Amino acid sequence: MFKLFNFKIIVSVALILVCSTVFISMAHASENRKFPIDLNEYPASLKDNALIEIDDNYSSGALGATQEEIDFWKGKTRPQSELKIKASPFTKGSRLPAYWQPLSYAFYYYGQEANNTCSKACLRMLMKSVTGSAPSESNINLGAFASVNAMIIWIASNHGFQYYGGFNASQATMEQNLDETIADCNMPAIVGLGETTVSGWPYNLPNHYVSIYSIMSDQSWVAIADPWAGFIGDTNNRWYDRTFSVLYDAYRRPQIEIGYLW
């Protein structure tokens, strides 16, 4: 009887711990930066540009930013109210070992469905992970769009929360932006870049988007989800890691300024 009583207590405690863990995980998953955005902040021309449909035969995956878009986002920083206070902030030069800072919820992978829809695939990954629901590519109603500004406007218009555009950034600024997005705000980022196999990337893609879903605490490495792998059926390169220096070099490689979403 005593053993049975102890067994019941152990089972009850285990159930409480499991339920508490699930509850905490669900609560933590909701602690992402879904801060509301007033669309009136955007100039009408930027909103109009985001609604322009690109020819479906457009052969590249990412569009360069216009000068107006670059100027609009220049110098914009995330308000401190959107950042969390880290319990043990890691700074470069610290003797503490660096560690991965993953999102607090499952990050879902989607491959792109056409050669020019890497932006849509990255948006699907973002929306599924953050909101629990991913629209189909055909329901992302911007044609074969592929600009950072278009993605930001689409998220704000359809889901009412804020992302920022990064353009012509230094490596230090980009590191800070992605660290804030992933580690502080619990949200994935999307980066426009140029992949080359000679530089250690799996493909040769001159203008392409990838999703970033984790970053090391010293910003030395990032974890990447590449939508092109799903398009060509390559199961080995859906997920991979790269040093931030390699990522930054790829970000600066395109002859156009694609930018990143953070």
21 occurs within a structural domain: no
144 occurs within a structural domain: yes
Domain that includes residue 208, residue range: 39-261
Give 205's Cβ-side CA count (13 Å radius): 25
What's the whole-number mean pLDDT along residues 161-186?
A: 94
- Which tokens is 73 given? 């986002």
25 occurs within a structural domain: no
**Residues of the chain with pLDDT > 70: what percent?**
72
pLDDT surpasses 60 at 26: no
CB within 8 Å of 95: residues ≥ 6 apart? none
Write the pLDDT tens digit of every residue in 37-65.
Answer: 566 677 776 766 555 444 444 445 788 89
Give the C-alpha separation, 47 to 155, whole Å: 12
What's the whole-number mean pLDDT along residues 207-213?
A: 97
Report how far Cα 180 is from the mean position of its chain's Cα atoms: 11
24 occurs within a structural domain: no
pLDDT surpasses 90 at 232: yes
27 occurs within a structural domain: no
Write the pLDDT tens digit of every residue in 102-135.
Answer: 999 999 999 999 998 999 999 999 999 999 999 9
What's the whole-number mean pLDDT along residues 177-188?
A: 94
- Position 144 scores a pLDDT of 53
**Mean pLDDT across the chain, nearest whole number?**
81
Instruction: For residue 211, give the CATH number of its domain.
Output: 3.90.70
Determine if the pTM surpasses 0.95. no
Residue bearing the bigger pLDDT, 196 or 12: 196
What's the whole-number mean pLDDT along residues 60-74?
A: 86
Give the range among 27-36, 90-99, 116-125, 201-210 with minimum mean pLDDT: 27-36
What's the whole-number mean pLDDT along residues 52-80?
A: 74
239 occurs within a structural domain: yes
- Main-chain phi, psi angles of 260, to 5 degrees: -150, 160
Q: How many domains does the chain have?
A: 1
Classify strands 205-216 and 239-243 as parallel, antiparallel or unpaired: unpaired
pLDDT surpasses 90 at 140: no
6 occurs within a structural domain: no
What's the whole-number mean pLDDT along residues 127-150?
A: 83
- Position 205 scores a pLDDT of 95
What's the whole-number mean pLDDT along residues 168-191?
A: 96
CB within 8 Å of 10: residues ≥ 6 apart? none
9 occurs within a structural domain: no
